[in-house]
Amino acid sequence: MATFPSTEVDEIIEEGTDLGTGKDFEAEVIVYNCDCHTYQQVIDLFCRFIPGMNSSKAFELAWRIDHEGSAQVYKGSKKAADNIAAKLAGGGLKVEVR
C-alpha cells in the first residue's frame, strides 16, 4: 500500500476589487418595458448613465426589456442605484430601485 507525503496548505486569502456586486450589493435598478422608446433611445440612455455600459450590452438589455418586460440594468450601492435610476427616469424610462 502506497503512502503519500503529508503537505500543509497555507490559508488562502482572496483579494478582490469592489465592482458594486457580491457582498457589498445593496440595490438593483430594474427597467420596465413601456413601448414608448426606440431601442436606440434606450441604448443611448444606458450608455450615458450606467457605469461600464457599452452599446452591445445595452442592446441585449433593451431586447430583454422589450421581450421579457423588464431587466436588471445595474446592481451596486444604494446611492449609485438611486442616482442611475433618477437619470434613467429623467430620460422617460420606467424604473425601480429595489
* Predicted confidence (pLDDT) per residue in 4-44, tens digit: 454 444 443 444 334 444 555 799 999 999 989 999 999 99
Global confidence as pTM: 0.74
Number of other CB atoms surrounding residue 62 within 10 Å: 23
**Type and span of the H or E element at 70:** strand 70-76
Quick one: cell of 96? Answer: 425601480
Higher-confidence position of 10 and 90: 90
User: What is the spatial distance between Cα 48 and Cα 46, in angstroms, rounded to a whole number?
Assistant: 5
Q: Could you identify the residue written with the cell 422608446? A: 37
